[in-house]
């Protein structure tokens, strides 16, 4: 049993000591079976939320009405959820309510995919009612029960299926793929924000190319912001290894570049995904510089972060790998610039006003810009006296 499970084992034993069932469930169980790094440990029990709170001294109510309590134990937080059945779903998004139950099998039955519907007891024994381990071995993404029913309950599950396909490098089972083809319009009922979270996770997976291909094959791409009518562009993005990029803005910059969104459309496209303004600004700033031929001025205007991001994206596009040696040279060139921002100039606007003895006006910013360019291009030393002499010698000043 993994160390993270062992650390949480006292919680299971404490629940059982009080007469309740308790199991590890969810993604941690799946990842342990796949020998992947285990993340958050989740626990399911037939104890009610109130009974969970009574057993453990430190708890946080994060959704008692849905059966979930956070238990704080030895510096970690664990999500402990009461076995539940979900009532009729509304709007293809969420259940109208939940009913607390006593059956682990019925609790696992409500989950989306077989690989996410396994449990593990305190002895490390796997409980697998729906063939999750079989699907792991066969590398298949398959729903628990009828896929059409699962997608009608929560249409986001179609996109989640592709996301797990990307992350785990699995394939869609034939019946799951068929059900996505037939039910994809239901994704229109899902909020853009939820779709964006899943799609970004999809892009971060090692098999994003295969998942994008599946989105094209099933038509699911048509239900994603700004992609309807862009099947060939979506397919063109298959070759890019998005998983090698860490920042959200860089991933979106690479995506709009690979699907050939032109600069005039790019802001509207990214806004359609309801991304944070900062991510949009950074993505646009990077995307427009991916094919930039760098000189002192363009490096200065880009800034180090964008310079390196744009260069990394170009390297990944052309070589399927980040050329670390090339990036080191680019970083060194940037560090060698005489100035990194306007505030690094040896003179300020106030200095120009004192020197020229003229009323303030647009000429101040124009002169600063001209000085900035001259310094960057090595035509002028970044020294106050040298700048004053240079200005004095310029006939146009």
User: How far, in Å, CA of 158 to CA of 180, rounded?
Assistant: 6
Q: Do β-strands 126-127 and 119-120 pair in parallel, antiparallel, or remain unpaired?
A: antiparallel
Phi, psi of 235, deg, nearest 5: -65, -30
| 111 annotated to a ligand binding site | yes
DSSP codes of every residue in 273-327: TT--HHHHHHHHHHHTTTT----HHHHHHH-HHHHHHHHHHHHHHHHSS--HHHH
| 42 annotated to a ligand binding site | yes
Helix/strand/coil for 99: strand
How wide is the angle at C-alpha 136 spanned by C-alphas 135 and 139, nearest 5°? 80
| 289 annotated to a ligand binding site | no
Query: Of all helices (H) and strands (E), which one includes residue 253?
Result: helix 248-258
Left, alpha or beta for 317 (phi > 0: left; psi -120 to 50: alpha)? alpha
| 351 annotated to a ligand binding site | no
Contact 214, 173 (CB under 8 A): no
Q: Do β-strands 22-25 and 119-120 pair in parallel, antiparallel, or remain unpaired?
A: antiparallel
Q: Do β-strands 140-141 and 126-127 pair in parallel, antiparallel, or remain unpaired?
A: unpaired
| 163 annotated to a ligand binding site | yes
Classify burial at 162, counting beta carbons within 10 Å of its beta carbon; exposed 0-12, middle 13-18, buried 19 or more.
buried
In the chain, the largest separation of any two C-alpha atoms, in whole Å, equals: 92
| 157 annotated to a ligand binding site | yes
Q: Do β-strands 140-141 and 171-172 pair in parallel, antiparallel, or remain unpaired?
A: parallel
User: How far, in Å, CA of 384 to CA of 19, rounded?
Assistant: 80
User: How far, in Å, CA of 118 to CA of 128, rounded?
Assistant: 5
Query: Of all helices (H) and strands (E), which one includes residue 251?
Result: helix 248-258
| 27 annotated to a ligand binding site | yes
User: How far, in Å, CA of 55 to CA of 81, rounded?
Assistant: 14
How wide is the angle at C-alpha 115 spanned by C-alphas 111 and 117, nearest 5°? 35
Residues contributing to the annotated binding site for CTP: 27, 30, 111, 154, 157, 160, 163
Binding site for Mg(2+), by residue number, is 40, 42
Binding-site members are 27, 30, 40, 42, 111, 154, 157, 160, 163
List binding-site positions for ATP.
Answer: 27, 30, 111, 154, 157, 160, 163
């Amino acid at each position: 049993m993994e160390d993270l499970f062992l650390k949480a084992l006292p919680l299971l034993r404490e629940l059982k000591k009080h007469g309740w069932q308790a199991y590890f469930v969810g993604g941690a169980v799946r990842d342990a079976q796949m020998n992947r790094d285990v993340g958050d440990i989740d626990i399911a029990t037939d104890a009610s939320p109130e009974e969970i709170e009574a057993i453990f001294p430190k708890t946080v109510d994060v959704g008692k009405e849905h059966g979930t309590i956070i238990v704080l134990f030895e510096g970690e937080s664990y999500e402990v959820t009461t076995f539940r059945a979900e009532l009729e779903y509304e709007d293809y998004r969420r259940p109208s309510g939940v009913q607390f139950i006593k059956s682990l099998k019925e609790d696992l039955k409500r989950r989306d995919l077989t690989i996410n519907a396994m449990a593990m007891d305190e002895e490390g024994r796997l409980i697998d009612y729906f063939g999750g381990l079989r699907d792991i071995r066969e590398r298949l993404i398959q729903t628990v029960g009828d896929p059409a029913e699962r997608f009608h309950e929560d249409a986001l599950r179609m996109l989640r299926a592709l996301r797990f396909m990307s992350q785990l490098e699995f394939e869609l089972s034939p019946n799951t793929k068929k059900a996505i083809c037939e039910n994809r319009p239901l994704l229109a009922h899902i909020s853009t924000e939820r779709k964006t979270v899943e799609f970004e996770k999809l892009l971060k997976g090692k098999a994003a190319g295969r998942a994008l291909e599946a989105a094209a094959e099933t038509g699911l791409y048509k239900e994603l912001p700004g992609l309807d009518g862009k099947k060939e562009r979506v397919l063109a993005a298959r070759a890019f290894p998005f998983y090698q990029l860490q920042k959200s803005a860089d991933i979106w910059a690479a995506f709009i570049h690979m699907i050939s969104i032109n600069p005039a459309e790019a802001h509207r496209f990214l806004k359609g995904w309801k991304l944070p303004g900062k991510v949009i600004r950074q993505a646009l700033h990077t995307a427009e510089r991916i094919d930039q031929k760098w000189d002192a001025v363009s490096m200065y205007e880009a800034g180090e972060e964008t310079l390196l991001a744009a260069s990394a994206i170009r390297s990944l596009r052309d070589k399927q790998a980040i050329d670390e040696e090339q990036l080191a040279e680019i970083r060194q060139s940037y560090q060698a610039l005489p100035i990194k921002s306007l505030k690094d100039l040896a003179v300020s606007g106030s200095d120009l006003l004192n020197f020229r003895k003229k009323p303030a006006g647009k000429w101040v910013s124009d002169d600063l810009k001209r000085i900035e360019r001259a310094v960057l291009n090595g035509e002028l030393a970044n020294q106050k006296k040298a700048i004053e002499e240079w200005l004095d010698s310029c006939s146009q000043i």
